[in-house]
Structure 1
Amino acid sequence: MLESEVHSMLAVMEEPEPTEDSLARCARQVLFAAAQSDHDQRQAALDRLARVFENYGGAKAGYLSVICGALVEHGCDPAPLASPLFLRIQDILPKAIELCQRCESRSSEYHTGDATTATSDSQFKTVLERRSDEFPDLAAAWTDLDRFGPATVAVLSTSSQWRAMAHCFQQPLQQIMHRHQAARWIARLLAVIDDGQLLVIEPATLSGWPARISGVADNFQLQTLLMGTTTDNGLDASSALSSSALDVARGIGPQQSPEEVVGRWNFYSWQALQPDLQLPIEPDSAGQKHKILDAGLPAEIPLFAGHHVLLLGPRTSPHCWASQRSFGHLKASLDCEPALDPESCREWLNRMLQRSRPDGETGSDSCR
């Protein structure tokens, strides 16, 4: 059944100008048949569709991307799809960047000093519509990058291997991610740390531990994982955390669950450390400057001695968020190593303080 539906889909795509309705109908039938098929049949379907992936653009590419992405999310090996998909992105990304630059140059002519972000976005979209007629090839690349989003996210979510292969796209994507939705999501996925070193210390209690981090998309997810592991590593995560919320954060449960997660800590970078080896008291300016935002990315956490360092301080105001993760099929892990003893924590903190103070002074004798 699935083989027949794939054959019908490809026949419609061979038509010079198939209707949107016919493409949508064929795509629905392929996805329905895939749900009733076994793994080998789905893999055979993906292999066949991947062979023609580079041949299509426009609406055809969009439906092909959705189908291939769904097959990967249902357990198919993405290897046959990854190479043609990345080749397409390599081709269209420079064109999308060029269109963005042309549009921003033109929209800046209408920009006023007091314009809001919303106004700037509106101006950009207006110019984009006008310039799309002027540069149809660039506009097609801009749209195709959106259409390839589902397949790209699916492939990159499966393993660090594919993220490493596509890492060359991260910097170019960052040039347009403020304007292009698919570019923003793909760039965020490529920024995910794989098997990175994390060092967590709570200065107030001289508690902490090193850990390995993989697949964590944002700091909301990171804090949830921390609260699920600290009971075995020397810190008291007093906020209640359900097993279902922890499974969501680990990528082994559904992408979201109905409950809310209540934050336990404020995160700070190592540069926030004060001479007494403690964190600043908010709203101290140093505390605000070096506070790590929940909505930020783990990759943005500053490094010290090869570790992304998190200093934990108490929540200064209640904060909760929905139990969810950004990428439904991206597995995440936080593997903690044995807890540090207080003297080891103090030694780490003194090293950080020494690095952060231009005059080379360390903390007071009582803190050494």
Structure 2
Amino acid sequence: MIFGKAGFGGAVADFEAAVSAQDAKRSGKAFIRLQETFGQAREAELLDGGPRLAAVLEQVPPAPRAVVAVLVGACVERGADAERCAPGVLAGLRWALEQAVAFADAWAATGGGAFPAHDDGGEPGPELVERAGFEAAVGWSTLPQWEMAAVAMLNHPGVRRGAGSRGDALRLLGAVERASGLELKSLAHALLVLDDEPLVALHRASGTGYLLRVSGIGDNFQLHTLLADALIGGGHVEGRAPSPQEAAVCRETPGQVETVGSFDLVAPDGELIWNEGAPADIPVVDGVRLLVLDEPSYRRTWPAGRFFPGMRGDVLLERALDPEETERWYAHVSPAKNATG
């Protein structure tokens, strides 16, 4: 069989045709060429190739499928249409998570022991296949590649709005973690990202309250800095305001800048909400997430920035609550508990 045009675009066309024809030999050669030519791909090849590869992902054999998904994610990071690419990648992610759950169950049923390390997306070893079956072993072995590809999709708000199966992926991810102890932190945080989410923040020291809207925030370190920028930097409450640079790197400017905490983030029941968590950890009260801002109980520094460098985040202040509204929200709030750690 004679290959088509050279370069990444030609490799995509050859791979697409070979996979559709179920020609294992030709698709294997084209698979190698995809990896070899990606680094020199032109912009037009990436914009065209990402969606085309995503469209055939389901037909790709299990072992190389995750590597192709990573290539799709790399195309998206360089400008390919994430919303066109996401359905194939997120369907593959759910398949891999389902297989990883089956792998964990089979591993426990066949003697247990330490779970094996993940590979680079190649064929799983014979012991894994013998103990769990080929597809389950592939699903387990390729989870890091699926995490990478899925996060590339979920960096985009259009994908997050359309990803109605995020709940299924989170459920499966939780099952994998409970069964094996494996933590895929980036994937978990990406699946939990909120967009256009209303948030009521009560500033306990001043007795004031604020309605804000949260989008694209990867973790509570980022949320913390942007809340301080909106409320302290905006002149609404007293405290340490982040510098313009600290706030900018939490929105969309590349890099990190050292910052100092301005609050303790506290749930309505008085328990601390840790910066290491995500805005989805904030409890919902009467249909709205409710957060209390207390004076910082100890000095804490960290590099301000974005948990997901490719995801734009923001916290927008809609308005200050009037005294009656604020009092109604405070009715749901318990006294703060002492911080530890």
Band the TM-score falls in, shorter-chain normalisation: 0.7 to 0.9
| AA at the equivalent of 2:234 | D
Deviations 1:61-108 (A, max 9, x none): 243222210111222212332232233334333221121133346677
Q: Which residue number corresponds to residue 236 of structure 2?
A: 234
Please state if 1:133 is matched with 2:130: yes
Counterpart code for 1:6? V
User: How many positions carry a matched residue from both structures?
Assistant: 314
Distance 1:24 1:79, change over 3 A: same
Match among 84, 93, 96 for residue 92 of structure 1: 96
The answer on whether the counterparts of 2:96 and 2:146 sit within 8 Å (CA) in structure 1 is no
2:120 matched to which residue of 1? none
The RMSD of aligned alpha carbons is 3.2
**8 Å contact from structure 1 (residues 6, 30) kept in 2:** no
Change (3 A) 1:75 1:253: same
Q: For residues 196 and 105 of structure 1, what CA distance do their matches in structure 2 show?
A: 43
Q: What pairs with 1:91-110 in structure 2 (closer than 5 Å)? A: 91-104=95-108
Identity of matched residues, %: 24
Contact in 2 for aligned 1:93/1:141 (Cα 8 Å): yes
Structure with higher Rg: it is 1
Q: How far apart, CA to CA, are the structure 1 residues paired with 2:143 and 2:59?
A: 15
Could you tell me which amino acid in structure 1 is paired with residue 96 of structure 2?
Answer: I
Opposite residue 215 of structure 1, the aligned amino acid is: G
- Once the two structures are TM-superposed, the CA of residue 147 in structure 1 deviates from its matched residue by 2.4
- 1:184–1:204 CA distance, 2 compared to 1 (3 A): closer
CA-CA distance at 1:253 after TM superposition: 1.7
Map of 1:196 onto structure 2? 197
- Is the CA contact (8 Å cut-off) linking 1:208 and 1:233 kept in structure 2? no
- Quote the Cα distance in structure 2 between the aligned partners of 1:342 and 1:227: 21
Q: Give distance in 1, aligned partners of 2:228 and 2:111.
A: 46
Shift of 1:191: 1.3
Q: For 2:317 and 2:110, how far apart are their aligned partners in 1?
A: 51
Instruction: Check whether the contact 2:156–2:311 (CA below 8 A) recurs between aligned residues.
Output: yes
Tell me what 1:275 maps to. Answer: none
Which residue, out of 122, 137, 141, partners 1:143?
141
Distance in 2 (CA, whole Å) between partners of 1:193 and 1:50 is 25
Structure 1 equivalent of residue 53 of structure 2: 49
Contact kept, 8 Å, 1:12 with 1:23, in 2: the verdict is: no
The SS at the match of 2:240 is coil
| Structure 2 match to 1:286 | none
Q: Secondary structure at the match of 2:136?
A: helix
- Structure 2 CA distance for partners of 1:315 and 1:243, relative to 1, 3 Å: same
> Relative to 1, partners in 2 of residues 1:222 and 1:195: Cα closer, same or farther, differing over 3 Å?
same
Query: Displacement of 1:215 after TM fit?
Result: 1.5
Deviation string for 1:102-135 (max 9, x for gaps)? 3346677x7xxxxxxxxxxxx3348x98554322
- Structure 2 unpaired stretches of 5+: 1-6, 118-123, 336-341
Change (3 A) 1:18 1:163: closer
* Greater mean deviation of Cα atoms: 164-173 or 210-219: 164-173
User: Structure 2 CA distance, aligned partners of 1:107 and 1:221?
Assistant: 43
Specify the alignment match of 1:175 in structure 2: 175
Residue in 2 that maps onto 1:316: 297
1:198-347 aligned at under 5 Å gives the runs 198-230=199-231, 231-232=233-234, 234-239=236-241, 241-250=242-251, 252-254=252-254, 256-257=255-256, 259-272=257-270, 290-342=271-323, 344-347=325-328
For 1:213, what is the secondary structure of its paired residue? strand
Conservation of the 8 A alpha-carbon contact between 1:217 and 1:327: yes
Tell me, yes or no, if the aligned pair for 1:174 and 1:183 is still in contact at 8 Å. no
Which of 89, 103, 115 is 1:124 aligned to? 115
When structure 1 is superposed on structure 2, of 223-232 and 41-50 the one drifting more is: 41-50
Give, in angstroms, the shift of residue 347 of structure 1.
3.7
Within 1, Cα distance between the matches of 2:182 and 2:28? 26
Question: Match of 2:4?
Answer: none
AA partner of residue 141 (structure 1): G
Q: 1:20-59: CA deviations, max 9, x gaps?
A: 9x9667425223223xx24xx4322223322322222455
The normalised TM-score by structure 2 is: 0.79
User: Can you give the 5+ residue segments of structure 1 that lack an aligned partner in the other structure?
Assistant: 111-122, 273-289, 358-368
Shift of 1:202: 1.3
